[in-house]
Chains A and B, each alone.
Chain A
């Protein structure tokens, strides 16, 4: 259950960005979570709902984009979506594969309400 400590970091990042842009409020926060990131999306969402109370992000919508596992074979060049526990090339069975998507843990963007005079 490290989702809570992760959310703490996430919220500090968002608060810094909001302050840099003189935002009145944070409208939405978009995170990219790979299925191999070791994070349970539902727990992250619940943790964020708990931790945002009383901050500039209190009313922010929390948007999670889940990234599938995609591997690229260094041997035959084929890329394919894979199960989290089967990362060999589906075509040639080589273990020489690179994960090109699936372990992301990224704060992708923040939508801010900025008042203009």
Chain B
């Protein structure tokens, strides 16, 4: 994706997009701007903030009830002595999840979205004013439970983690390709329930992810019996180290499918400049 305007123009679709059919008496203006450019500008601004504070930001996405908050509780218990962690919680209603996180002794800020089915970069930006970013190593954004809409919105984060609980079925990656294509890591959760299920195949779930040409790692995880906890912690630590190394080279990390596309760098209609204090 183009860093300037967030468009999806590639060498493959360039000619298709440029093709126009002029009409008599009417001026046709070629625009070529991503419909999400407003969100994507805000996302880049958020990412700049994160990078100044050197905090790795992970966007947790899944269906409702697949264990995102339980994953966070277990992770915080394990890492709170070695890393400074905070959480942004997105939910339609209630502050239940925020209270669960705060009970673990780390800062949490709740975004109540009302009827909105996803977090966007502007909502996250508002939440950032309530967190002391410069004191953090790791920030989790627990997105609204939804396998559709959250995948389309860059929040300025660095990595996408998608949870798939075993009760949902192993064909979810095939049913929701937009979401699972964006995963930098797929976490199969609630594996302690596997003995009670006869229709969930770990192999098939991984194969369905692979079919999306996504070679992201898959971790089988249970916050009840601790399966996969070590692998998850190692993944997190590796990502933090990789991110810090990128920062030293004045680069940043981007989640899957939010890549730069150098082909088209047309300016947006209302260019904005966001000064970031060093």
Which residues of A are in contact with B by a Cβ distance under 8 Å? Answer: 1-2, 5-6, 9-10, 12-13, 16-17, 20-21, 23, 27-28, 30-32, 34, 36-39, 65, 67, 70-72, 79, 84-88, 95-101, 103-114
Counting from the closest, the 7 A-B pairs by CB-CB distance are A100-B12, A87-B213, A38-B178, A38-B152, A101-B13, A85-B174, A2-B149
> Within the assembled complex, what's the spacing in Å between the Cα atoms of A99 and B11?
10
The answer to whether A105 and B149 have CB atoms under 8 Å apart is no
The answer to whether B28 and A106 have CB atoms under 8 Å apart is no
If the complex has contacts A1-B149, A86-B211, are A110 and B32 also in contact, measured as CB distance less than 8 A?
A: no
The answer to whether B116 and A9 have CB atoms under 8 Å apart is no
Q: In the assembled complex, how far is the CB of residue B42 from the closest CB belonging to chain A, in whole angstroms?
A: 11
The answer to whether B36 and A87 have CB atoms under 8 Å apart is no
In the complex, whether B35 has a CB less than 8 A from a CB of chain A is yes
Chain A residues with CB under 8 Å of B34's CB are: 105-107
The answer to whether B20 and A6 have CB atoms under 8 Å apart is no
The answer to whether A100 and B8 have CB atoms under 8 Å apart is no
The answer to whether B37 and A13 have CB atoms under 8 Å apart is yes
The answer to whether B269 and A100 have CB atoms under 8 Å apart is no
The answer to whether A95 and B210 have CB atoms under 8 Å apart is yes
> Within the assembled complex, what's the spacing in Å between the Cα atoms of A108 and B195?
52
Chain A residues with CB under 8 Å of B28's CB are: 109-112
The answer to whether B29 and A95 have CB atoms under 8 Å apart is no
**Chain B, 6-46, contact with A by CB distance < 8 Å: what is the 0/1 string?**
01111111001100100101111111111111110000000
Chain B residues with CB under 8 Å of A38's CB are: 148-149, 151-152, 178-179
In the complex, whether B129 has a CB less than 8 A from a CB of chain A is no
Chain A residues with CB under 8 Å of B37's CB are: 9, 13
Q: In the assembled complex, how far is the CB of residue A102 from the closest CB belonging to chain B, in whole angstroms?
A: 8
The answer to whether B257 and A103 have CB atoms under 8 Å apart is yes
The answer to whether A107 and B212 have CB atoms under 8 Å apart is no
The answer to whether A108 and B30 have CB atoms under 8 Å apart is yes
- From A40, which residue of chain B is reached at the shortest CB distance? B148
